[in-house]
Each structure stands twice: as structure tokens, then as C-alpha cells.
Amino acid sequence: MDYPNDQDPGAPVRSGIPEHGRIPKYYAVKARIDRLVGELGEGGTIPTERDLSEQYGVARETVRQALRELVLEGKLRRQGRGTVVAGPKLAQPLSLASYTEGVRRQGRTPGRSLVTLDRFPCPAALAAETGLERGEPVWHLERVLLADDERVGLESTYVAVARLPHLDTEFEPDSSFYAYLHEHGIGFGDADERIETVLATPREALLVGTPPALPMLLIHRVSRDTEGRPLERVRSLYRGDRFSFTTHLRG
């Protein structure tokens, strides 16, 4: 089989070439722009849609579709009226380590911006999921996740008020919640996690600063302390174009 556009035969899934060998025109353009991304490096400016359409001899809509997919994959990002090469994705480990630790390990500066911190009686659904008592007071801590001041996610944490009665006055919203737990002698025992892909709601997209159509990675976590008691329920929404997740498996 021929591999047009200098695609590597060893690339995943035959570089995207269907079995019938007919490559969609936009994909051929995408492959060429993808090579250009590697040549330009982070921050490099991609030629305009008009220039690319003339260079490759295709319609501007074909170029637009190729660019759109590369933006969704996190290889490109919009900057003003132009498009530039994006930096590498943040590789967050799937572990009981905090978001802060994961970002720092990659040489980035983590941060959080407070959206809301309120308390309310634990609803039935949350009680059933966590083992907390229905109606007992719980905190809801919602924060935008930052990496080098770039908005990359949204995190909602639910924890019993009885465990952290002074969360609203003692906790610094831009700091690590896990470090705060450690300071209060609370350790993690185990947790259950579930990951899925979703589209952000209009509110979430506005808070994270992304288009509503951008795929997001959603992690649900229910944690328990070292004695097996309910500790926290976390809903973490990460930008699909800026994050990947890693884990180590043993046989």
C-alpha cells in the first residue's frame, strides 16, 4: 500500500488510511499541517486558511476542517485571529496524588481560582454515592484549575462539614486541598474513580474558557480515609485538548 503525504507506515492505525485506500481530502491536508506543526515547534504561527488552501490546492472549508480537528486534538490553539502550535499536553497521573503535584512534576505552575464555597444539607444522591448521612451539612468547593495561569479545568469537591468545620475561614482557595487535609491529620486510604468524555455545559465552558463543542475529560472520584470512612466526592473536568492521563499497571 502507498502511504501518501510522507506518512509513516508504522504510525498508529496505518496513519489513518482506510482499508479501501481512499483518503478523505481533509485528512491529507491535516497530515501535512501536522508535519508543519512538528517543524514549527511550540508557539509557531500556522499560515492562514487562504494561504494553506492555495498551497495544497483545496477549498478553504477543507483546510478549516483539518485545522478544527488539530485544535480539538490540542496540537494547535487559536490566538487572536490566527492559529499557533500548542504546547504539549499535561500528563496527569491517575493516583491519589493531588492536581498540584501532577502539574509541578512537569515544570508548570499550578493554581486555582475560587468559583464558590458554600454548604447545604447532603442530598440523597450524594449520600448514596459517598456513604455520608442524608441531610448532614456538606461543603461544596468549586474552583477553576490553572496551569501557568491558563485555565485548564474545573473541580468540584464535596466534603462533610463535620470533617472540616472551618474550611470557609481557614482554607486558602488557591492552595492544595489535599495539603490542607494532611495538615489536619486526615490521610487517604483508597478511592474509586470513573472517567468519561463529555461536552462542557455552557456554564462550564464559560468558566474554563473553551468552546462548548470542545471534548472534555470528566473524572468522578469518591475517596475514603485510612479508616475506610467517607472523605470526599470530587468531580474534575479537564480540557481534552490540554490533558492526558497516565497510570502504571502490573501483571
Classify residue 9 as exposed, middle or buried by CB count within 10 Å of its CB (0-12, 13-18, 19+): exposed
At 207, the pLDDT band (50, 70, 90 cuts) reads very high
Q: Look at residue 2 in the predicted model and tell me its pLDDT.
A: 43
Q: Which residues of 78-88 are buried (b: 16+ CB within 10 A; e: fewer)?
A: eeeeebbbbbe
Q: Look at residue 108 in the predicted model and tell me its pLDDT.
A: 79
Task: Flag whether pLDDT at 194 surpasses 80.
Answer: yes
Q: Look at residue 35 in the predicted model and tell me its pLDDT.
A: 86
Residues belonging to the chain: 251
Q: Look at residue 1 in the predicted model and tell me its pLDDT.
A: 36
Q: 210 or 91: whose pLDDT is higher?
A: 210
* 115: three-class secondary structure by DSSP: strand
Average pLDDT of the segment spanning 43-54 = 91
Cell of 168: 470557609
Task: Flag whether pLDDT at 78 surpasses 90.
Answer: no
Task: Flag whether pLDDT at 62 surpasses 80.
Answer: yes
Average pLDDT of the segment spanning 112-134 = 92
What is the value of pTM for the model shown? 0.69
Work out the mean pLDDT of the chain and round it to a whole number. 83
